[in-house]
């Protein structure tokens, strides 16, 4: 038979143990509470989803057609033509890449009209993203558009607000004329805005626009853009809602 005898010293031990344990408990729950507090305060930004723009098949321009069109345009010397051919053939650009309708014409059509038609075609991805997630355009709080060179008036942001019926007090930003870096900048801008504006939904439209931006000259570094860029765009939804 086992007996537990508490003498004076062991009793005080138990009390000490109880209090140290209790301290551990208290410390643990304090740390837990602190972690929960930090988590609830932390400015997390979530990527909900994104869609990429898929141009209609009618906009496909095989490499051979592109080369032929640049030859017919009469804007380039032989060295530039050879250079473009070499780069296009080795750059990984495929025969199924797309260029806007204006570039399919001979000679190319560079009008603002053609540019706006291209922009509106790319806008279809916003609709796809909204319907995919059943998002009411009026629930968007922040809108950022990103385009390399096309900077129309009214702005791309205003065009989207009007076309899709976003709220009139949506915080909108149109980054244009910053080249490729605008894509990264627009994500970073959205993140910073979401850290300040609680419970918000941000839509980013990042797009290319080729119609009026095909370079017609003979400077090699500028010619590279003709060979590497094609129609494209992405719609990205970010949020800080839990």
Ligand X SMILES: *[C@@H]1O[C@H](CO)[C@@H](O)[C@H](O)[C@H]1NC(C)=O
- Work out whether 56 is an interface residue with ligand X (CB under 6 A): no
CA angle 152, 153, 159 (to 5 degrees): 85
Mark the segment that binds ligand X (CB under 6 A) among 7-15, 21-29, 193-201, 206-214: 206-214
Q: At what angle do helices 220-228 and 78-90 cross, to 10 degrees?
A: 40
Kindly state the smallest distance separating residue 139's Cβ from ligand X, in Å: 18
- Work out whether 165 is an interface residue with ligand X (CB under 6 A): no
One of 124, 128, 151, 218 touching ligand X (CB under 6 A)? 151
Q: Does 107 sit behind a cis peptide bond, omega within 30 degrees of 0 on the bond before it?
A: yes
- Work out whether 157 is an interface residue with ligand X (CB under 6 A): yes
- Work out whether 172 is an interface residue with ligand X (CB under 6 A): yes
Cβ contact 95:67 at 8 Å = no
Cβ nearer to ligand X, comparing 101 with 218: 101
Q: How many angstroms separate the CA atoms of 132 and 222, rounded?
A: 38
- Work out whether 63 is an interface residue with ligand X (CB under 6 A): yes
One of 80, 97, 146, 200 touching ligand X (CB under 6 A)? 146
β-pairing verdict for 201-207 and 46-52: unpaired
Helix (H) or strand (E) holding 172: strand 171-176
Kindly state the smallest distance separating residue 218's Cβ from ligand X, in Å: 23
Q: Show the tokens assigned to 230.
A: 């094609």
| Site residues, ligand X (CB under 6 A) | 62-64, 94-95, 109, 111, 113-114, 117, 146-148, 151, 153, 155, 157-158, 172, 174, 180, 182-183, 206-208, 234
């Amino acid at each position: 038979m086992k007996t537990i005898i508490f003498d004076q010293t062991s009793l005080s031990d138990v009390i000490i143990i109880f209090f140290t344990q209790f301290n551990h408990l208290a410390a643990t729950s304090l740390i837990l509470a602190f972690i929960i507090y930090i988590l609830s305060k932390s400015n997390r930004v979530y990527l909900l989803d994104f869609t990429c723009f898929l141009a209609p098949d009618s906009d496909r321009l095989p490499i051979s057609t592109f080369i032929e069109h640049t030859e017919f345009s009469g804007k380039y010397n032989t060295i530039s033509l050879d250079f473009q051919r070499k780069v296009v053939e080795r750059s990984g650009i495929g025969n199924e890449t797309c260029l806007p309708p204006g570039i399919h014409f001979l000679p190319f059509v560079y009008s603002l009209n053609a540019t706006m038609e291209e922009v509106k075609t790319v806008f279809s991805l916003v609709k796809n993203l909204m319907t995919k997630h059943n998002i009411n355009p009026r629930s968007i709080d922040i809108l950022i558009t990103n385009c390399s060179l096309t900077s129309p008036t009214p702005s791309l942001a205003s065009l989207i607000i009007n076309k899709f019926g976003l709220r009139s007090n949506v915080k909108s930003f149109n980054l244009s004329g910053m080249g490729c870096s605008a894509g990264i900048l627009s994500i970073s801008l959205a993140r910073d805005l979401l850290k300040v504006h609680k419970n918000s939904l941000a839509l980013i439209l990042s797009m290319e626009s080729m119609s009026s931006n095909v370079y017609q000259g003979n400077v090699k570094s500028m010619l590279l853009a003709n060979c590497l860029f094609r129609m494209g765009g992405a719609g990205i939804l970010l949020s800080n809602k839990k």
